[in-house]
Amino acid sequence: MTANSWIQLALFLGALVALAKPLGSYMARILEGKPCGLDRVLGWCERGIYRLAGVDPQQEMGWRTYAFAVMAFNLLGIAAVYLLLRLQGALPLNPQGLPGTTPDLAFNTAVSFGTNTNWQSYGGEATLGYLAQMLGLTVQNFVSAATGIAVLAALIRGLVRRSATTIGNFWVDLVRSTLYILLPLSVILAVALASQGVIQNFDAYQSVDLVEPIPVDGGEPTTTQTIAMGPVASQLAIKQLGTNGGGFFNVNSAHPFENPTPLANFLEVLAILVIPVALCYTFGVMVGDVRQGWAVLAAMFVIFIPLTVGVMLAEQAGVPQYAGMGADDVASATQAGGNMEGKEVRFGIANSAIWASATTAASNGSVNAMHDSFTPLGGLIPMWLMQLGEVIFGGVGSGLYGMLMFAIVAVFIAGLMVGRTPEYLGKKIEAFEMKMASLVILIPSMFVLVGTAIAVVGPGLEYTVGDEVKGNLNNPGAHGFSEVLYALSSAGNNNGSAFAGLTANEPFYNTLLGVAMFASRYWLIIPTLAIAGSLARKKYSPPGAGTLPTHQTLFVVMLVSTVLLVGALTFVPALALGPVVEHLQMVSP
Amino acid sequence: MATASKSRPLFDPTIVRRAILDSFLKLDPRLQLRNPVMFTVFVGSVLTTGLGIHALVADGNESPGFILGVSAWLWFTVLFANFAEAMAEGRGKAQADSLRSTRRDVQAKKLDEPRYGATHRPALASSLRKDDAILVEAGELIPSDGEVVEGVASVDESAITGESAPVIRESGGDRSSVTGGTRVLSDWLVIRVTANPGETFLDRMISLVEGAKRQKTPNEIALNILLAAMTIVFLIVCTTLLPFSKYSVAAAGQGSPITVTVLVALLVCLIPTTIGGLLSAIGIAGMDRMIQANVIAMSGRAVEAAGDVDVLLLDKTGTITMGNRQAVEFIPAVGVAIETLADAAQLASLADETPEGRSVVVLAKEKYGLRGRNIHDHHATFVPFTAQTRVSGVDIDGRRIRKGAADSIVKFINENGGATSNELRETVERIAKLGGTPLVVAEGDRALGVIYLKDIVKGGIKERFSELRRMGIRTVMITGDNPLTATAIAAEAGVDDFLAEATPEAKLKMIREYQAGGRLVAMTGDGTNDSPALAQADVAVAMNSGTQAAKEAGNMVDLDSNPTKLIEIVEIGKQLLMTRGALTTFSLANDVAKYFAIIPAAFATTYPVLNRLNVMGLASPSSAIMSAVVFNAIIIILLVPLALRGVPYRAVGAARLLRDNLLIYGLGGLLVPFIGIKAIDMFIAACGLA
């Protein structure tokens, strides 16, 4: 790894940690309903929304009511997006006159954005008009992220409250997170990105003359190119901040209008992790012991940093076969070296690798390089980061509540080993919590593995258009398997990142991935809220010398081991048949 | 303490023989269904047996020998788990048998009226009902549980407690309860029966040690859920491997898909069979360890709760201090020679048969060479202690010597026209502040001085309390003393807190307060007035010597009636949880090595490069799979002693304990199977078995 890579990584991590405390304590004020400064400016808006929706902000909810509100709101959102996509041909703000999408694509996309996954089976500029992008997708970008924060807030309240029956009000959590956290941050980021050259307009696509005409076999050379336009900056900001990842353009943040400069790239990759990182601090503040938040954050970094370095090393090491082809893949002042296939020259190895692990650690899924073209190990790590359950930072809110489920399991085993009924933050972990936490850990892996199995049995290998049979996989052999496994890992963990190389915009994958995304979002939210309700009802047991401290190195080790062991034991066989075989084949003479 | 006669060797031959037989009887699918992990293995065994038989008659691409070999070891896995459970139960059953032998149907003397001398007629013990009155005389067995209504007798309770020294049972007070199956050694007792046939203490004890009424405890249920979830995860991992493998074979164009036998082998190796197979044995063994410590727990839930105790309420008298106060010093009043005081104090105590009184005589003799005299030689008149006067003493040779509590003696002096000095009052206060009991000695109108009676804190108790503190348990002393005295003793004994001038209501209130604060409270008690508090406490240990009411209210009975037994009880509770946690960690950590054994073996025909993952260098694919399965089965047997004995508990604080256990069972669990599987593989290869 080059010195430049280390500096880039250090800068990125340093900025994240530095922002954790200020942003984290600010968000804690929002979720605890305290004045935050911004409420003086936007308070009228918050109150107006409550009045308009007929919500009493003082009305607390039990976990069932809370879950019902989450589900009702999300299902309604998904239905709205579905209709927008189907009917876009008849709706305004569609200068290209793009037609309504197929039902399966509309279902897949609606679920994808509603669940904060942002898997894209379509190419943005070729499929969606501005209204669908803004009113459909961007709105879901905000509210799906706010839903994650709300569920997290409910879980934290469950941990904090004693002998209580309620865990907050979903509508209040949703409105306050959107209005005071996501909206202001997005405005700041959108303006900053626009300053770097990210476009923001409602123009029709432009046709420009090529400087160098492209020769076409047996025909006239191509002399013009269509350049897509649109309100990119406004959608891009929340796409990064809300761990959404659904790009305006097909190639996502590899597109020069979506990610023009190294500074834009730095801001965008920082925006992927900044809220999930800061939420750990928020958690610490809300439970009244910031060390608890730092401990969880430390566990995330302990997994994230080595894996990121792993991607960087794998990509920098490149492909041994290049040498035989006479290619120069040594890093120098003029080139990044390593495996540059599928990467932008302006980002190089370091920024592509950092982005790849950040986007898969968090459930963002945006890309600035094509993961399909990574080396086998460079591709394995992003895939495994998703398979860990999107708990290393993970989605906004959802990553931390997922991680807290792992903490509950870790505390359970650790608690047994010190001879006490396990407790987390003074709440006893009993059969009900184990049942729900097990569900949370079980469901995503079930959808990933069973979904992959269904696909490779046959239905996911080829599809028909008219009378023509086409293959879904770009590559044969183990890499083809990796492509399918990656797609299911992405959907089954609500990441949305695509390996590429898999043709997914056809009924089979649109349906399978849509179901996987839906199930692994809401089948996790409901048990999480159930735990919140059950914990809230419990008494608080004050810690003593016999209780396991959950803010120390040892607990961090325990939590890291639990996440890694569960992730490894579940996915080792599948990974062995995909990227591991690819790697061994690549390095074997 | 457990007596030598009660502890059996871990692998007692008779128990082992019975356990082996039981292992086969437990193959009943209905019994297997109770344990999701082992039921999965059971189904796998049946499936592979069928496949093996099919391979014998039809041609397949796997040798029937291999399939049946795997199948045999899967059956062994089930049998070994059954054996572990049967061993744990067997120890209880053996105990139950020896208890049952004391439950003979004896002839009882049923009284027509509950008083000594009433007419009685013979009746079988099994016909005795609650509230019947019976007479038991020297040499006879007590036929049923009861309460002494009349008489005093020495009773041999060794059949229940294992303690050979006889105990005194008498009517009234806290030593009035008797247990069926014990023997009256001297005198006689009139007993009111308190249990119907089949409900006696002995009956309950037998059913408890046999584990007949064993129900899964809350924590065990939670762990079972986790294990079931892990089993489902691995079931999904293994079943999806078949399509993955088929795709790979098609894509690579070589090799053959993974067989069902190998998939079942992989599944059984991955699911947490080690903990799953030993889980119920651990629970039963925990109860068994309680019994070895001479404590009968009424439920497994109580044993488990013992590990969670944060607050321990202990009675001062008899637990923290020796039962009685003792004289340690004579402090004369101004102008009185110390010998004069000692002499008067001794004279006043000569007829006092209480331990306090005797200790005064002894102190005077030891320190001042004053020999005990026969008061009858001096025409002395003994003045006994009464609740009205609250003084005692002697009238001898015209001298009127009295000793008693300060205010009572002051009254006595005033009545005789004398007065007391400030300095005497100061002495009295000083002693009270030190936690002692001041007894003032007066002769006529003159105060001679003060006897300093002191509560003697038991040796070693302070160390036990600091051990408890390291375990995270707060100790609270309960005493009827005034706050001053209580403070001093609390400081000397090193308890964290105390409740002075305790009444049953105050105790109950204190327990409720601790519980409201989220603490788990344990206490011991023996008296009837302890029963409300015992019923409220989370872990309530009643002394076997205590009243029937106390035993009913508690959830454990200590047969040794040793109040410091709570410490052991807490340790056993903690051991129970620790053993579960340690074996769960060990079981899951084991899986890493098993993957390294089975994955290359299963897929190397398709992707030969995967052989590079065969880091153990196992001889052949079939020996690799066999070795993993054999290791998985054998480790259950090897861990049976650990499951029965429990992971040792040390009071070193939770963090250190976790670190140590993680190193042993986590890291150990990661490494041991690499060595074990390699060793078994070498053995198989050497024998040419595969």
Mean pLDDT over A307-334 rounds to 89
Please calculate the CA angle A92-A95-A101 and round it to the nearest 5 degrees: 70
> Residue B171 annotated as binding?
no
Asked whether residue A156 is assigned to any structural domain, the reply reads: yes
Q: For position B274, what pLDDT does the model report?
A: 94
Average pLDDT, stretch B282-289? 85
* Confidence check: pLDDT of A346 > 70: yes
Residue A381 forms part of a structural domain: no
Q: What is the model's pLDDT at position B7?
A: 54
| Cα gap B248→A578, rounded to integer Å | 9
Report the alpha-carbon distance of residue B154 to residue B136 in Å, rounded: 12
Residue A303 inside a domain? The answer is no
Say whether pLDDT at B2 is over 60: no
Supply the pLDDT for residue B214: 63
Q: What is the torsional sign of CA A46, A47, A51, A54? A: positive
The strand pair at B556-558 and B539-543 is best described as parallel
- B218 close to A (CB below 8 A): yes
Across the range A567-582, mean pLDDT stands at 94
> A128-154: per-residue pLDDT in tens?
888 888 899 999 999 999 999 999 999
State the residue for tokens 């247990």.
B179
Provide the pLDDT confidence category of residue B4 given band limits of 50, 70 and 90.
Answer: very low
The answer to whether position A84 is within a domain reads yes
Q: What is the mean pLDDT of residues B349-358?
A: 78
Candidate from A67-71, B26-30, B53-57, B213-217 with smallest mean pLDDT: B213-217
- Global model pTM greater than 0.90: no
| B-chain residue closest to A419, CA distance | B574
Cross-chain residue pair A417–B661, CB shorter than 8 Å: yes
Q: Do B609 and A416 touch (CB under 8 A)?
A: no
Residue B380 annotated as binding?
A: no
Q: CB contact, 8 Å: A572 with chain B?
A: yes
pLDDT tens digit string along A328-341? 888 888 888 889 99
Catalogue the E-assigned strands of A98-227. 206-214, 222-227
DSSP class of A355? H
- B113 closest CA partner among B91, B94, B135: B135
Residues of chain A with pLDDT > 90, as a percent, come to 72
CA atoms of B175 and A91, how far apart (whole Å) = 92
Query: Is A54 within 8 Å of chain B by CB?
Result: no
A222, burial (CB in 10 Å: exposed 0-12, middle 13-18, buried 19+): exposed
Question: Which residue on chain A is closest to B670 by alpha carbon?
Answer: A565
Among B57, B534, B77, B128, CA closest to B315: B534
Is A474 an interface residue toward B (CB < 8 Å)?
no
The pLDDT of residue B377 is: 63
Share of chain B above pLDDT 70, in %: 94
Q: What is the pLDDT of residues B185-199, one digit of tens each?
A: 888 889 988 888 877
Domain count across chain A: 1
φ/ψ bin of A209: left (φ > 0), alpha (ψ from -120 to 50), beta (otherwise): beta
Q: pLDDT tens across B639-649, in order?
A: 999 999 999 88
Of B304, B472, B591, the CB nearest to A569: B591
d(CA A266, CA A10): 12
Residue A186 belongs to some domain of the structure: yes
pLDDT in tens, A9-24: 999 999 999 999 999 9
With the CA atoms of A510, A516, A519 and A525 taken in that order, what torsion angle do they form, in degrees rounded to the nearest 10?
-110
* Residue found by looking up tokens 């003397």 in the block: B109
Q: Could you tell me if A442 lies within 8 Å of chain B, comparing CB atoms? A: yes
Candidates A368, A172, A396; CA nearest to A268 is A368
Read off the pLDDT of each residue in B583-595 and give the average, rounded to a whole number.
94
Share of chain B above pLDDT 90, in %: 30
Chain A contact present for B518, CB below 8 A? yes
- pLDDT tens-digit map of B368-388: 877 666 655 667 788 887 767
A319-333, A338-352, A574-588, B589-603: segment of lowest average pLDDT: A319-333
Which residue is catalytic, options B288, B315, B455, B558?
B315
pLDDT surpassing 80 at residue B1: no
Range of the domain at A255: 24-280
pLDDT bin (cut points 50, 70, 90) of residue B8 is low
Q: Is A548 part of a structural domain of the chain?
A: no
Lowest mean pLDDT among A383-392, B179-188, B228-237: B179-188
**Which residues lie closer than 8 Å to B678 by C-beta, 6 or more apart?**
B616, B617, B618, B627
Q: Determine the pLDDT at residue B468.
A: 83
Give residue B213's pLDDT.
53
Task: Tell me the torsion sign for CA atoms B158, B162, B165, B168.
Answer: negative
What's the pLDDT at A93? 84
- Digit-coded pLDDT (tens) for A298-309: 999 999 999 999
pLDDT confidence of B323, banded at 50, 70, 90? low
Question: Among partner residues A446, A456, A545, which is closest to B471 by beta-carbon distance?
Answer: A545
- Which range has the worst mean pLDDT, A97-101, A367-371, B457-461? B457-461
Residue B469: which of A419, A545, A566 has the nearest Cβ? Answer: A545
- Ligand-binding annotation for B586, yes or no, is no
- Note whether residue A12 is domain-resident: no
B615 and A CB contact within 8 Å: no
Would you say residue A372 lies in a domain? Answer: no
Q: Is residue A223 scored above 80 in pLDDT?
A: yes
Instruction: Provide, as residue numbers in chain A, all residues whose Cβ is less than 8 Å from the Cβ of B242.
Output: 453
d(CA A403, CA A299): 10
Binary contact (B222, A434; C-beta < 8 A): yes
Residue A585 and residue B248: Cβ atoms within 8 Å? no
Give the mean model confidence (pLDDT) for residues A512-531.
95
The domains found in chain B, sorted by start residue, are: 13-94+210-291+571-687 (no CATH), 129-196 (2.70.150.10), 308-320+458-559 (3.40.50.1000), 325-452 (3.40.1110.10)
pLDDT at A544: 77
A236-268 burial code (b ≥16 CB/10 A, e <16): bbbbbbbbbbbbbbebbbbbbbbbbeeebbbbb
Predicted local distance difference test score (pLDDT) of residue B5: 39
Q: What is the mean pLDDT of residues A21-29?
A: 96
Does the active-site annotation cover B315?
yes
Mean pLDDT value across chain B? 85
ipTM for the whole predicted complex goes beyond 0.95: no
Question: A14-23 long-range CB contacts below 8 Å, 24 or more apart?
Answer: A15/A270, A16/A270, A16/A273, A16/A274, A16/A277, A17/A277, A19/A270, A19/A274, A19/A277, A19/A278, A20/A277, A20/A278, A20/A280, A20/A281, A20/A297, A21/A278, A21/A281, A23/A274, A23/A275, A23/A278, A23/A281
Test A585 with B221 for CB contact under 8 angstroms: no
Q: Tens of pLDDT along A149-181?
A: 999 999 999 999 999 999 999 999 999 999 999
Partners of residue B152 on adjacent β-strands: B170
Amino acid B3: pLDDT? 38
Report angle CA A516, A522, A524 to the nearest 5 degrees. Answer: 95
